[in-house]
């Protein structure tokens, strides 16, 4: 009898999970737009002037997997003129579908760390999403 109760208890525990089939994303019947989305941040000083970062990096926390986008010279020039830098793009929408991950953005001016911000991102069936984090960064100490 104890073995039967133990077996029933074990089966109940193994069949319990936090997500039902209804909770999981059903992406088979979703029509996605053809646009390619990138979540970006804007970096400015206290006066609203664009901050040109010499270098930036984006890593997945806690292990530090580097997901810094490769930027062609023309793309980087546009970013520095506008003070807009990419966090994560639809390149990662499949990898992080139905997940929330923590990422960190670091920006440097003359080898000095001026931006160090954490974000919570993820993806739905089609595109990356920003859940938490300030996309308008103001640098006070330049």
Q: Which of 114, 141, 135, 130 is nearest to 37 (CA)?
A: 130
The confidence score (pLDDT) of residue 102 equals 97
| 26-45 tens-digit pLDDT | 788 888 889 999 999 999 99
Rounded mean pLDDT, 86-104: 94
Report d(CA 23, CA 82) in Å as an integer: 40
In the chain, the largest separation of any two C-alpha atoms, in whole Å, equals: 76
Query: Is pLDDT larger for residue 13 or for residue 58?
Result: 58
CA distances from 83 to 29, 49, 79, 98 (A): 38, 9, 5, 30
| Overall pTM surpassing 0.85 (yes/no) | no
Give the pLDDT band of residue 17 (cuts 50, 70, 90).
low
Tell me the percentage of the chain whose pLDDT exceeds 90: 63
């Amino acid at each position: 009898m104890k073995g039967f109760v133990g077996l029933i208890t074990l089966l109940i525990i193994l069949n319990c999970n936090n997500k039902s089939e209804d909770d999981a994303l059903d992406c088979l019947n979703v029509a996605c737009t053809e646009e390619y989305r990138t979540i970006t941040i804007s970096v400015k000083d206290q006066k609203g002037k664009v901050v040109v970062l010499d270098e930036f990096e984006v890593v997945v926390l806690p292990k530090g997997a580097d997901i810094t986008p490769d930027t062609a010279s023309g793309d980087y020039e546009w970013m520095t003129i506008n003070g807009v830098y990419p966090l994560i793009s639809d390149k990662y929408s499949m990898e992080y579908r139905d997940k929330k991950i923590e990422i960190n953005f670091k920006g440097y001016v003359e080898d000095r760390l001026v931006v160090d911000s954490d974000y919570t991102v993820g993806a739905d069936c089609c595109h990356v999403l920003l859940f938490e984090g300030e996309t308008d960064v103001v640098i006070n100490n330049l």
